[in-house]
Amino acid sequence: MSDLAKRRGLYWLSYEIYGGVAGLYDFGPIGVLIKRNIMNEWLHQLVYSSDLVVEIETPIITPRIVLKASGHEDHFTDPITECKSCGRVYRADHLIEEQTGIKAEGLTMKQLWSIIREKNIKCPECGGELTKPQPALLLFKTEIGPYKGSLGYIRPETAQGMFVSFKQVLNVARNRLPLGIAQIGKVGRNEISPRQGLMRLREFTIMEFEFFFDPERSMEEVEEILDDETANETLYILRGEEKEKGIEKASPYKTIELIREKIVKNPWMAYWMARGNIFLKNIGIPEDKIRFEEKLPWEKAHYSEQTFDQQVWTRKFGWIEVAGYSYRTTYDLDRHMEFSGADLTFFKKYEKPVEKEVVKVSPNPHIIRNIVGKDIGLVMKALKEMDKDEILANLEEKGYIEIHGYKLKSNAFIIRREKQKIHGEKIIPHVVEPSFGLERIFYAVLENNLEVIDDRLVLKLPPRLAPYQVAVFPLVSGSKAEHKKITRIAREIYRLLIKNRIRAIYDEEGSIGRRYARVDEIGVPYAITVDYQTLEDSTVTIRFRDTREQIRVHLDELYDKLLELLGLKHSFKININQL
């Protein structure tokens, strides 16, 4: 794969002329196109196809307070151990797994150190002794502005930008739930010892959305939009309780089973897991190569109530995580309200107003002045800033409230009970997060679609993902008049395809066999060849990448035939009598 990747312009190690940097990769002309097509498919299938999800864009640089509030500054760490002899640093849990096969992810520093000592694990490079594992922060630090003191981080996920923008997006979306906020963007994680090519990067692209909803209505809302395809989608699940028993084989479940049997804690998460499964299959990942693994309590992120990793089987790396689905409940909105003081609640309207008894409390300035004298202004200001429920709670529990050293009893307040019609209440929405790693999906798609046919590499990408949908070749290119005519026709076909927004590539270098081989390796599904017969009857050949079959098509019918082959020829018919 790495040889093909470099030779055909898919990807290569960044800054290679300076020795390269682990965990950083460049994507070449072909790789960029395939990545963008995967991204566009994700947007089409999971964002634009739903009126519940909108897309935004937020900055990569994040103020420290945001990631302090989210818990990343305290929890976003990996365990490291250092060689006492050569100074090399390793991620402790990965080193243990590599040398012993023991699954060490999520273990405490004490547990990791115990395994290192018991198994006598040494430095792989020099055989030196290792230090006790310590947590290392994975956030990239930066200064915001030219002056010190304004610390920021490169975001480790796009999620926090969506959480802090929740209220603005909610207003734009006409204050309705459920609401998904999607974003695609670069993130940075200062990985300890990134290896395995695209599997562990320090800078990569995340495609994710935060889906906000009222937990009391989630079942009802999912049932409203659950079509037959999604309800009956088969997902292969390796449950947490099975993992603890040593079971490694995933079991099949229909989406509707996951919901009814409450294997997945919230219906919305099961729904988006099914949609994510359909997405991966649509971009060329075989169903039997996809599974979901439930994370155990000590494996989950600090914000998650329940997490499933979506994994794809690869020949080189085994099961790799390409997406994660987390039930974040109210964690993030709670934390950002606490740290910012902003109101990130949603006003939930009742179907009918409800009559409730409301207790109103207000300070009695005349009595309070007799108690506090000249401090009346200070005390009244403090009371104004206090929550009314807090005042009532103190009066009921202690019989007084203490402000600036003064004890104010119930007679210092005017307390009224009155009935009001309540039209709704403020709630904190729950959140489900589907998060996809673009580079890992890119790799999984390549590996699962790369085949060797008659000693030649063929990348059998779905046409929607191919860097070019069509290749255009003149059979010959030379100085003879008929050769020039063939070349002019081929170039005109290429020009018209580009004009009509079909991604095409033109090539007249080398033998026709070599040109076919080149485009087969980068996944181009169809190749048009202009030959001598074209001059006689205005027909060209269309070659099929996967079968190498060729058909002849008249130039007048070429465009329609390509639209048909590429799945771009659509009908728009509505029978109102069937609606």
What pLDDT is recorded for position 6? Answer: 87
Question: Cα(444)–Cα(252) distance, rounded to whole angstroms?
Answer: 21
Question: Cα(284)–Cα(290) distance, rounded to whole angstroms?
Answer: 11
Tell me the per-residue pLDDT of 300-342, one tens digit each, with 9 for 90 and over. 989 999 999 999 999 999 999 999 999 999 999 999 999 999 9
82 bridge partner residues:
89
Q: Which two tokens stand for residue 408?
A: 């104010």
- CA distances 137 to 64, 105, 181, 196, 300, Å, are 13, 16, 28, 21, 17
- Looking at 341-480, list the stretches that DSSP marks H as alpha helix, in order from N- to C-terminal side: 365-372, 376-385, 388-398, 438-449
Centroid of chain to Cα 561: 36
Q: State the maximum Cα–Cα separation within the chain, in Å, rounded to a whole number.
A: 111
What pLDDT is recorded for position 298? Answer: 87
What pLDDT is recorded for position 330? Answer: 97
Tell me the per-residue pLDDT of 78-132, one tens digit each, with 9 for 90 and over. 999 999 999 999 999 999 999 998 988 888 999 999 999 999 999 999 999 999 9
Domains by residue range for the chain, with CATH:
2-76+138-333+431-439 (3.30.930.10), 350-425 (3.30.720.200), 468-565 (3.40.50.800)
Which residues of the chain have a pLDDT value below 50? Answer: none
Strands 470-474 and 526-530: parallel
Torsion sign over Cα 135, 139, 142, 144:
negative
What pLDDT is recorded for position 72? Answer: 94
What pLDDT is recorded for position 572? Answer: 80
Q: Are 104 and 112 spatial neighbours (Cβ–Cβ below 8 Å)?
A: yes
Question: Cα(209)–Cα(257) distance, rounded to whole angstroms?
Answer: 24
CA-closest candidate to residue 436, choices 444, 426, 428: 444
CA-closest candidate to residue 440, choices 195, 200, 186: 200
What pLDDT is recorded for position 105? Answer: 82
No. of H helices and E strands in the chain?
A: 22, 28
Give the list of residues 6+ apart from residue 505 with CB closer than 8 angstroms, or none: 467, 468, 470, 471, 472, 519, 524
